Amino acid sequence: MKIIGSFPKIRLRRLRKSKWIRDLVSETTISKNDLILPIFIREGKNKIDSIKSMPDIKRYTIDKLPIILKQVKKYKIPAVALFPYTSKNKKDKIGSEALNPNNLVCRSIRYIKEKFPTIGIMTDVALDPYTSHGHDGVIIDNKINNDATIRILVKQALLQAKMGCDIIAPSDMMDGRVGEIRKILDKNNLKDTSILSYAVKFASNFYGPFRDAVGSKSNLKKDKKTYQMDFRNISESYREVALDINEGADMIMVKPGLPYLDMIGKIKNRFKIPVLAYQVSGEYSMLKNAVSKKLLDEKSIFESIISFKRAGACAIVTYFAIDIAKKLS
């Protein structure tokens, strides 16, 4: 970029001298419409659990969901993302509970659509909450079997869509699953159900608290590097995104968020498709703990959300959604 003008004729500080002028020329803004709140759900009744590794984040039984959903509605957050904590007695090697029409996610979708019909619902398509080994797929011969996993994921996605889910979000990172999900949705007259592909999901070290929250961490004996992306790679992410768009993805997720702001902008500029960022559990817990210990100012949370928008994200999945929405009210 060619720089026009020079000091002292040009003084950039003139545009920073007061709040109103800084706001006037600001290049990035955030609104409530940019936020999606992840919610952890659990079996039982009249229960709210704390999650030790995620301060102030809870798991809710379905009857307790109004506590959080009333805030979502009050502060006009457009959508929530549901993640189940599955009890051990409902887990097996192939994640059979994922296909139970009365499982926790399915019942939660039906409940929210009945009681809070204006709130959008995003659901995770992956097997890790349901498998006894904690992986996102079926293990055959000590490997995650891609095609066998897809056959289950397709049924899981269709089930969630039939329950009323608005956005199907496959996070499993199996090759070819977006195309198979799109086919079965269209075949069942669910052409309006959107697919948000976790196309750029890195094998990251920032997922630990989430795995605590859904109860998969203690079962997971090996890492997920054979199917989640190598965080050193850029070109690989372009190939993942291109394939998923070609298969029918409506939107793309970059996960984690803050360590991969560069990827958000590059994918947005290259593919001209809506790109979402997931501010994952590890990012949340780092910021939350740093603020509570007064190592960082609370304003750093808002700054982190702005950074996603500045990078090019159209929306952010964040555990801070209600906090941010309150500040914007």
Instruction: Out of 255, 266, 268, 288, pick the active-site residue.
Output: 255
Domain carrying residue 229: 32-249
For residue 155, what pLDDT is reported? 98
Residue 84 pairs in a beta bridge with 41
Total domain count, the chain? 1
Return the closest-CA partner of residue 274 out of 310, 234, 314. Answer: 314
Token pair belonging to 128: 């890790």
Residue 131 near residue 92, CB atoms below 8 Å? yes
Question: H or E stretch including 131?
Answer: none
Q: Is the pTM of this model over 0.85?
A: yes
In terms of DSSP bridges, do strands 167-170 and 194-201 run parallel, antiparallel, or are they unpaired? Answer: parallel
Q: What are phi and psi of 246, to 5 degrees?
A: -60, -30
In a domain, 159, yes or no: yes
Residue-wise pLDDT tens digits, 309-326 = 999 999 999 999 999 999
In a domain, 241, yes or no: yes
Mean pLDDT of the 278-289 span: 97
Please work out, in degrees rounded to the nearest 5, the angle formed at the alpha carbon of residue 225 by the alpha carbons of 282 and 123.
55
The beta strand positions in 221-311, using DSSP E, are: 251-255, 275-279
What 3-state DSSP class applies to 101? coil
What 3-state DSSP class applies to 170? strand
- From 49-58, 62-71, 184-193, 216-225, the region with the lowest mean pLDDT: 216-225
User: How far does Cα 256 stand from its chain's mean position?
Assistant: 9
Mean pLDDT of the 41-57 span: 96
In a domain, 327, yes or no: no
Residue-wise pLDDT tens digits, 243-277 = 999 999 999 999 999 999 999 999 999 999 999 99
Q: Any idea of the CA torsion for 252, 120, 170, 133, to the nearest 10 degrees?
A: 140
What is the average pLDDT value for the chain, to the nearest integer? 96
Mean pLDDT of the 155-180 span: 98
- In angstroms, the CA 189 to CA 267 distance is 30
The contacts of residue 104 (CB under 8 Å, 6+ apart) are: 41, 42, 43, 62, 84, 85, 86
In a domain, 266, yes or no: no
- In angstroms, the CA 210 to CA 284 distance is 10
Tokens 């009744």 identify what position?
Answer: 45
For position 83, which CATH number holds? 3.20.20.70
Length of the chain: 329
- From 9-13, 65-69, 255-259, the region with the lowest mean pLDDT: 9-13
Q: Is 201 labeled as catalytic in the residue annotation?
A: yes
Cα–Cα distances in Å, from 217 out to 195, 222, 281?
Answer: 27, 10, 13
Higher pLDDT, 221 or 151: 151
In a domain, 22, yes or no: no
Q: Is the peptide bond before 38 cis (omega within 30 degrees of 0)?
A: no
What number of other Cβ atoms are within 10 A of residue 5's Cβ? 8
pLDDT at 172 over 90: yes
In a domain, 303, yes or no: no
For residue 217, what pLDDT is reported? 66
pLDDT at 1 over 80: no
Residue-wise pLDDT tens digits, 177-228 = 999 999 999 999 999 999 999 999 999 999 999 989 988 867 777 889 999 9
Q: Is 222 labeled as catalytic in the residue annotation?
A: no
Residue 132 near residue 93, CB atoms below 8 Å? yes
In a domain, 15, yes or no: no
Instruction: Out of 64, 201, 266, 268, pick the active-site residue.
Output: 201
Return the closest-CA partner of residue 277 out of 219, 196, 203, 190. Answer: 196
Residue 278 near residue 254, CB atoms below 8 Å? yes
For residue 216, what pLDDT is reported? 80
What percent of the chain is modeled with pLDDT above 70?
A: 99
Tokens 């809506």 identify what position?
Answer: 274
What number of other Cβ atoms are within 10 A of residue 253's Cβ? 26
Residue 281 near residue 268, CB atoms below 8 Å? no
Return the closest-CA partner of residue 320 out of 311, 310, 299, 312. Answer: 299
In a domain, 190, yes or no: yes
Binned at pLDDT 50, 70 and 90, residue 98 comes out as very high
